[in-house]
Amino acid sequence: AQTVTQSQPEMSVQEAETVTLSCTYDTSESDYYLFWYKQPPSRQMILVIRQEAYKQQNATENRFSVNFQKAAKSFSLKISDSQLGDAAMYFCAYRRGYGGATNKLIFGTGTLLAVQP
């Protein structure tokens, strides 16, 4: 069975600095997708970034980028120029790439990021 591990329950970063959140996963599949979701306090969970396993290039969305190491089964999220609005719980998630509609996302336990002014 696939598992997703986030080993950092809490992180803290100074405003304008860079922070990296770690995620590792375990799978025997070769085709899959990885996601980072953000859950701000008392607000809806939203997608931050997505990575297809078959793509070697790391995904980037503005200040958010990933370091995808397929062989090491590692998928870290880097937040550059951290802003107060980045304070949130961040979840790493895995989805098998084939199998159609019934594929489900498997989530890690989350990392709570605090941004210090």
Chain residues in the site for other proteins (CB under 8 A): 4, 6, 9, 33, 35, 37, 43-47, 50, 52, 91, 95, 97, 100-105, 107-110
Select 14 or 54, whichever has its Cβ closest to other proteins.
54
Select 38 or 82, whichever has its Cβ closest to other proteins.
38
Helix or strand or coil: residue 102?
helix
Closest separation between CB of residue 45 and other proteins, Å? 4
Torsion of CA 76, 81, 82, 83, to 10 degrees: -150
Contact 99, 50 (CB under 8 A): no
DSSP alpha helices (H): ranges in the chain? Answer: none
Select 38 or 115, whichever has its Cβ closest to other proteins.
38
Return all residues near 89 (Cβ < 8 A) that are at least 6 apart.
38, 39, 110, 111, 112, 113
Closest separation between CB of residue 86 and other proteins, Å? 18
Select 85 or 100, whichever has its Cβ closest to other proteins.
100
Q: How far is CA 40 from the centre of its chain?
A: 14
